[in-house]
Structure 1
């Protein structure tokens, strides 16, 4: 029980750090990378992301990856009202409906699609395979989002997948160091994992940064959907965890997934009805086939 309380407390702190960083990033999401580097607020956002990542890594010592990742939905709960407050307006009904549906859907998935089994680490072959697959998938999704007129949600999907892989790599490093001591940090495969964490963390940050250029809520919701879905897949396929659900629970989980998808669509449409200048911004459409 104590570990559960610590895990939840850390996840709340992570959500606050990530939500605040997302609000800052959204403000400058239209700028190219070289211009961003000259803006002090962007570095504050990076620092907050770093703090969130550090707290996230700490939480991995108290709970399994597949439990911690779904709690990322708290970022959405915090960020949407904060974004409205900074714009000096109320949360619209459509935003509230979208946020509520997304949160309920994600919470249902977190409760139903649980995993059990001992926490394992990625072996050398599994780690390399994960790195190669992630480079390919994130690269393709990022390219899709970079096309003229393309939905920013492609980049949100890529960012969510990148963050999930970072978490899996972090868990491997944390658990391995705990079992074998600090000396393992000098082993080649651990160095590869650490480099992978750094590369995917930067890539995911830049992808999510770009995904906010037409609005914060919808891409943030997508990232928080893709992140736990990818983490659960990694946990089941590579980390020795297994789904602990009955067929009835699987059906309910599908309904929850559809509800979360509806919430994302509502958050995307909310851009068209936000009062003030923001209403003229391009609409975020859900990418076809996503």
Structure 2
């Protein structure tokens, strides 16, 4: 697909792009701009969640040996990415609650981010609280590494990924086999009979993993995203991981093709090693010559009636 050709053929009188189509176009433009040079490091937290945070995970045939304590003698088991992600989906289905916010309400999230310079140095912990308009018609108040700002209401044709509008999230299929294809094909009727091509998987991962950055989703959508990610090629399992709270876990790391933001596999999803409950994310952020290791997790979330209100 020629991204620049798509832009030349764009008609200002045509209906605006869907959020997933917009995200795919941005991704392909990024690829076009980066080739053939090596991809630069991408910050974990692009400006105020306007760009898609590309968390990633997928299935591999190999696994890692995880130690388990059983009485006084440890035993081991081999764990694959598929096992972890399907286990995370099952745990999410067990714990998730149905939610149906009104269009005039706000989605509240509280995220904890711990950051330490690679190679040693002083650590810092950030607490980010954000209030996003459910239907995009009101101003949202968002925080990134404790830098806050008001985000104006959506304008015609404007959007982001994942969609902030609850109505758009509700349209996404909760069938893990259909979800990646629906995201792949974007606007129009998904072609569920067509196999996904090798060069399409990074985009599928890009969109699927973006959903996992949203702590409040319609019931069934997050488990479907976990299971769908288990079908994406390109990950490995990392034992001995910890989350922002110091809890021990197992990691899932996506390593993308060259000249993509995921070629270095900097982002790792961390899951509980026993229950596979999703614990948070380990990532890196670069500021000049300094690289920071980051651990983050969602501490609270809910639906409220106004900005600055908490559940």
TM-score calculated relative to the size of structure 2:
0.28
Looking at secondary structure, tell me which structure has more strand per residue: 2
Structure number with bigger Rg: 2
Greater share of helix: 1
Q: TM-score, normalised by structure 1?
A: 0.30
